[in-house]
Structures are given as structure tokens and as C-alpha cells.
Amino acid sequence: QSVLTQPPSVSGAPGQRVTISCTGSSSNIGGGYDVHWYQQLPGTAPKLLIFDNSNRPSGVPDRFSGSKSGTSASLAISGLQAEDEADYYCQSFDSSLSGSVFGGGTKLTVL
């Protein structure tokens, strides 16, 4: 069981909007630690998608957005495209474990 909980899968049609949740606890997200998101395409290394809850690195389309509230965070992807089909992971720091933690990952299927 991952410290951060994500839905195993989400899906949407091209052009639609989907959201992926990431639920933690008071020792990580709720404790004020920032949430970061990664995209991993099949057979490739993870890529930073969102940092510090809602910031996009240069080169990441503004179709991707993030938010955080309380012990949870969300990644939203609007205007879905076929190339968005990938695994998405949230990540934060956990003070009880004294280390980084990832969510279990969410597989996005573009119908």
C-alpha cells in the first residue's frame, strides 16, 4: 500500500477533461509538504509535470494543472490527447518516514 493514494485508472475521450486525485495524511501533504506530479510514458523514464502543487516546468503544456487542499492534491488534464496516455504519479515528502513518497500511480487511457 502506497502512502499516497491514487485511483488505479482513469479514462476520457479526446478533448475531455480528467482529474487524478492524490490523498495523503498529516505527515505528508497535510503537514504542509508540497506535491509534485510525474508522467511516465511506456518504456521511458518519468518526467516532471507539475512541481510545488501547481507549477509547470517550461515545456509542459498549460493543459496540465495541479492543485492542493488539506491532505489531498489533484492533477487535471484538459483537452485530452492520445499522447497523454501514460502513468501519472504524485510525490511528496513524509516526515514520519523521513523520505520521499510516491502515490501508487494512475493509468490514463484515452478512449
**Interface residue with another protein, options 23, 28, 89, 110 (CB under 8 A):** 89
Neighbours of 17 (CB within 10 A): 12
Q: How far is the CB of 48 from another protein (least distance, A)?
A: 5
Binding of another protein by 36 (CB under 8 A): yes
Binding of another protein by 68 (CB under 8 A): no
Q: How far is the CB of 64 from another protein (least distance, A)?
A: 15
The answer to whether residues 105 and 87 touch, using CB atoms and an 8 Å cutoff, is: yes
* 27, three cell numbers: 505527515
* 26, three cell numbers: 498529516
**Interface residue with another protein, options 18, 22, 28, 34 (CB under 8 A):** 34
Distance CA(42)–CA(30), nearest Å, equals 31
Nearer to another protein among residue 13 and residue 59 (C-beta): 59
Binding of another protein by 99 (CB under 8 A): yes
Q: Could you tell me which residues come within 8 angstroms of residue 104 by beta carbon, excluding any fewer than 6 positions away?
A: 1, 2, 4, 5, 6, 8
Q: Which residues bind another protein (CB under 8 A)?
A: 2, 34, 36, 38, 40, 45-48, 51-52, 57, 87, 89, 91, 93, 97-105
